[in-house]
Amino acid sequence: MGAARRDAHTTWTRLRGTRGGFTLIELLVVIAIAVILMALLVPTGKALRDGNRAMTCKSQLQQIGVALKAYCLDEGGAPPLYIDQTGDPTDPVASPPDGPGLMALYETGYLSRRETLHCPVDYYSPAGSDEHFESYQRYDEDVAATVALNRYSYLTTRGIEDDTSDWYRRQLQPAADIDSNAGTPAMPVNMPDWRPDDNTVITWCPFHVDAVEVGGEGAYQVLFWDGSVQRVRRSVMTDDSVGPDEAWKVGHQDAG
């Protein structure tokens, strides 16, 4: 019995000695598996981050929509961001729109967080600057627009004075020629009972166009007056031969 135990102990010792570490082939196999797992996980992680940021942006747009409606009910009109009567409406850089625009929602308490006005993927303006909080009322040179000023994502009026026009109620606020000068653009006027069409674009966000898709094509996130945030294909927003001749004229029918 003693000899059998010694033989078993000797065999176990040898086995332990032969398995004291990884062979080179085993080590290479482990490294290869780790590389494959990393290759699978990195794109997944990026997709999750992109998706989360797009969801955050959508939530912020919805909050802006709710705050804007409350502001309009109380104030009789949308927060001012409108064409400068004394400037050149064809040159938004030299003659940018007047008024605080969407920032008024925060300054008057309709939005609790100023950061709601900043898209998490808007890396174009430094933190702390005024432009940092203008993600949803920025000049978007990529969108379709026959008038340069209509490239602003948020604008209270688009200058449609004719109340029989199909686009009259597709403005956030009605327009009127308040100075009787045909050479200057129409200005917004307060009408307490004014209600834009549900199809009216409040604003849009272009920053997720490389992360969110519709039918395999990058898409903008567009906030409509009815509170919905819908994805509209990049070509519809930027090419007037594909979508409406002006980006602000897109509607529910153009989404998805």
**pLDDT at position 23, please?**
81
Mean of pLDDT over the chain = 86
**pLDDT at position 12, please?**
47
Tell me: pLDDT of 9 over 90. Answer: no
**What is the widest separation between alpha-carbon atoms in the chain?**
118
Mean pLDDT score, 105-120: 97
Interval 177-233: pLDDT, tens: 888 887 777 888 888 889 999 999 999 999 999 889 999 999 999 999 999 999 999
Which has the closest alpha carbon to 173: 97, 87, 60?
97
Which residue(s) pair with 139 in the sheet?
152
Interval 41-70: pLDDT, tens: 666 567 678 889 999 999 999 999 999 999
205-229 burial string, b = 16+ CB within 10 Å, else e? bbbbbebbebeeebbbbbbbbeeeb
Overall size of the chain counted in residues: 256
Cα three-residue angle 153-123-237, rounded to 5 degrees: 30
**pLDDT at position 55, please?**
95
